[in-house]
Amino acid sequence: MPSFDAVSKVQWAEIDNALGQASKELSQRFDFQGTEARVEKTPEGLLVSATTEDRVRAAIKVLEDKLVKRKVSLKHLDVGDPAKGPKGTSKILVKVKEGIETEKAREIVKLLKESKMKVQAAIQDQQVRVTGKNRDDLQDAIRLLRAQDLGIELQFVNFRD
């Protein structure tokens, strides 16, 4: 029986490249001189810091520009609130969301059931497996999911006949 998996994966290599480009631009741009603006990868996510809150927000815009140029969706990012750092600096933690949360997966399954398509959807860990009797039904399901704005970036992998 043909099937595919709907997943939400992040390309970490592209994020690392965008971090490098953003760091280089922050060190070279005139408006960031003396602000100690930095972007770095931590276990919690991406940490953006600078001497003032407005410079942190500007550094996040630089990072977002670099991510967009490297074709990483901004739907993966969850920008936190500014927090005070040491010596009066400001920092913002940007969390990177990966995988489909259970609530979103249920929404996808419900959407496919309500569409009356001849496909079945099952939640498996952080992905949704969709099976159907023929390839055309699965392609219609992919088209339907792409047309919806679910708030997450979806990729369709493991298409099997």
Residue with tokens 């967009």, as numbered in its chain: 68
For the domain 12-96, what is the CATH code? 3.30.70.990
pTM score, whole prediction: 0.81
pLDDT band at 37 (very low <50, low <70, confident <90, very high): confident
- 3-8+100-160 and 12-96 in the same fold: yes
Residue 87 region by backbone torsions, left for phi larger than 0, else alpha for psi between -120 and 50, else beta? left
Q: What's the CATH class of domain 3-8+100-160?
A: alpha beta
DSSP letter at 87 equals: G
Indicate whether 69 pLDDT > 90: yes
Distance from C-alpha of 109 to C-alpha of 120, rounded to nearest angstrom: 8
| Domain ranges, ordered by start, for the chain | 3-8+100-160, 12-96
**Residue 22: what pLDDT?**
92
For CA atoms 150, 153, 158, 161, the dihedral sign is positive
